[in-house]
Amino acid sequence: MNDTFLKACRGEAVPYTPVWLMRQAGRYLKEYQDVRSKVDFLTLCKTPELAAKVTLQPVDILKVDAAILFSDILIPVEAMGMHLEFTDKKGPILGEPVRTKAGVDKLVIPDTEDSMSFVLDTIKILRRELENRVPLIGFSGAPWTLATYIIEGGSSKNFLHTKRMMYQNPGLFNVLLEKITATVIEYLTAQIKAGAQAVQIFDSWAGILTPYDYENVIFPYVKTCAKALKKFDVPVIYFANDCSGILKIVKKCGADVIGVDWRVDMHEAVKKIGKKASVQGNLDPCVLFAPHDHIEERVQDVLNNAEGARGHIFNLGHGILPETPVENAIYMVDAVHRLSRKD
């Protein structure tokens, strides 16, 4: 098996810089669109054979060094007891947002094998299909990010309801975060036991917080997740989006790899993170709309700036955009392999 990705996560010597892309299985691929045209999004997530099929597509087409499970961060939120649906215009919608003690009390800490067995079945299929190829990454949303969806009932511009609960009812807010944290740990533990060879915790909305609130209110739950998962012999990746103002805090989370978004200078990120963790990132996803020579130039820049890291996994600074030309994504992956090869 090509274990370059796993070695880089652990800070071991690698023959070249491994690369994978957040949202690499998705709408920019015609092959994904062909599958998606026959089923709705949640059905795709919950049908192991189809979820495995679209997970494998970018491995075959882009030649990336890791596969990431096709699913959605809100799957465990639905299992906690919330109604979940996806719309093309508004994205995810969660019925009856949780903003009271009664709402928090209704939420359960789900057993993954009972309520999300389709995720585990997908992982088992993928491990068979990926044997002797590349590792499989499992994932979950981080406690804070999942809390925003639970409280807001979907995405938000200012996260007023979430921050209002955090400031006005911190006791209730912490009870909610404790339930979500227990769910994330159980969910990722089950993924690892099913065969995930690394796991990523996505904190998509970490950057909307002040550094003070992130460190004192949210960060303890991140550390709890990382600590609980460290007993397994798999790398843990923590990606805090828009992390420039909190990177000096993020580096203390205990994860093996810190994901860095494109707003952060990679050279500065490497200096701040030091040698306790590897780094992942951080090409601006919109660079993939540039001509090939410019893509190559920017890939080289990221590689150069990451040279001092304990280990480096090349990635975008956030998910690949649906409009991205596939040939440019292929070119970028090839450029990373070619430009970083040690021999």
* Active centre residues (catalytic): 23, 27, 36, 72, 149
Of the candidates 38, 63, 48, 69, the one whose C-alpha atom is nearest the C-alpha of residue 202 is 69
**Alpha-carbon span 196 to 193, nearest angstrom:** 7
- Residue 197 tokens, joined: 């060879």
Amino acid at 21: L
198-203 sheet: strands from edge to edge:
67-68, 136-141, 198-203, 236-240, 257-259, 278-280, 312-313
How is residue 217 annotated by DSSP? I
H-helix or E-strand spanning residue 280: strand 278-280
**Alpha-carbon span 287 to 329, nearest angstrom:** 10
How is residue 68 annotated by DSSP? E
Radius of gyration of the chain (CA): 19
Place of tokens 């491994």: 18
| DSSP letter for each residue of 18-36 | -B--TT-SSTTSHHHHHHH
**Alpha-carbon span 334 to 19, nearest angstrom:** 9
Q: For strand 136-141 and strand 91-94, is the pairing parallel, antiparallel, or unpaired?
A: unpaired
